[in-house]
């Protein structure tokens, strides 16, 4: 599928707050450094879409992560997906849906995306304890390629450097299939992969807002991440 948002997107700043006004303010403050702003709807006590669409100028990614995949949304799946459908109806740049989501709910979202072609779908998969084998990762990536998504996202936890290498190697398979992929490792050992993925063809990497809280272990403050990427580019 053609990706509506120009690739690569670069740096995505992930905003997670309890109150909408606080999240909007943090999102706007982060626009100086961000290519994309992720709004973690599952962190909001009363999630809304429109305030972000009205007040933010950078492309918006809406994510509503369920508790069963490391997020905070505790409600029924239909209600969770409904918020993503609202985001698509506002023609946001991207929405994130977990690969483990029920196929019928994924189909419902894909049907709406046919009428809102400005929005790209990220199909994501996370492992918060480790990193599967290369064969298992390849199978997950193949499922994402076949899912109808515009972009894949595979994020695992690095327990040693071999985990990092396996994740980064997925870019080779993604490139062979002309499939944009977000792939890196969480945790202290995986922090280097948040930089390396951009240099190796990854679609984008994620950072924490300056003064904000992490949405995943090992996230780097966005101003620091930008400085590191700048230094790497100059080193070229």
Query: Average pLDDT of 4-28?
Result: 86
Predicted confidence (pLDDT) at residue 156 exceeds the cutoff of 80 = yes
E strand or H helix at 151, and its extent? strand 151-157
Cis, peptide link before residue 8, omega less than 30° from 0: yes
The residues spanned by each domain of the chain are 10-122+184-235
124 within 8 A of 99, measured Cβ to Cβ: yes
Q: Is 54 a catalytic residue?
A: no
For the ranges 75-84, 116-125, 198-207, 222-231, the lowest mean pLDDT is seen at: 222-231
DSSP state letters, 14-47: EE--SSHHHHHHHHHHHTTT-SEEEEEGGG-SS-
The burial of 209, by beta-carbon neighbours within 10 Å (0-12 exposed, 13-18 middle, 19 or more buried), is given as buried
Choose, from 19, 28, 58, 153, the residue flagged as catalytic.
153
pTM over 0.85: yes
Class of domain 10-122+184-235: alpha beta
**Using 50, 70 and 90 to split pLDDT, how confident is the model at 8?**
low
> Is residue 6 classed as helix, strand or coil in its secondary structure?
coil
Q: Is 153 a catalytic residue?
A: yes
Choose, from 19, 46, 54, 126, the residue flagged as catalytic.
126
């Amino acid at each position: 599928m053609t990706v509506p948002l120009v690739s690569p997107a670069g740096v995505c700043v992930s905003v997670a707050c309890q109150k909408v006004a606080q999240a909007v303010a943090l999102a706007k403050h982060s626009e100086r450094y961000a290519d994309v702003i992720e709004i973690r709807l599952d962190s909001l006590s009363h999630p809304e879409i429109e305030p972000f669409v009205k007040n933010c100028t950078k492309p918006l990614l809406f994510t509503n992560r369920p508790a069963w995949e490391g997020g905070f949304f505790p409600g029924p799946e239909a209600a969770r997906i409904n918020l993503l459908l609202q985001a698509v109806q506002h023609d946001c740049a991207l929405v994130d849906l977990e690969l483990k989501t029920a196929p019928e709910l994924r189909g419902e979202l894909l049907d709406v995306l046919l009428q809102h072609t400005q929005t790209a779908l990220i199909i994501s998969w996370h492992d918060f304890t480790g990193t599967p084998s290369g064969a298992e990762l390849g199978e997950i990536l193949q499922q994402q390629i076949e899912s109808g998504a515009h972009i894949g996202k595979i994020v695992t936890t690095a327990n040693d450097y071999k985990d990092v290498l396996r994740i980064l190697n997925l870019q080779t398979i993604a490139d062979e299939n002309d499939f944009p992929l977000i792939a890196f490792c969480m945790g202290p050992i995986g922090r280097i992969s948040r930089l390396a993925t951009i240099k190796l063809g990854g679609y984008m990497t994620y950072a924490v807002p300056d003064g904000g809280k992490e949405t995943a272990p090992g996230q780097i403050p966005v101003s620091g991440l930008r400085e590191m990427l700048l230094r790497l580019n100059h080193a070229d």
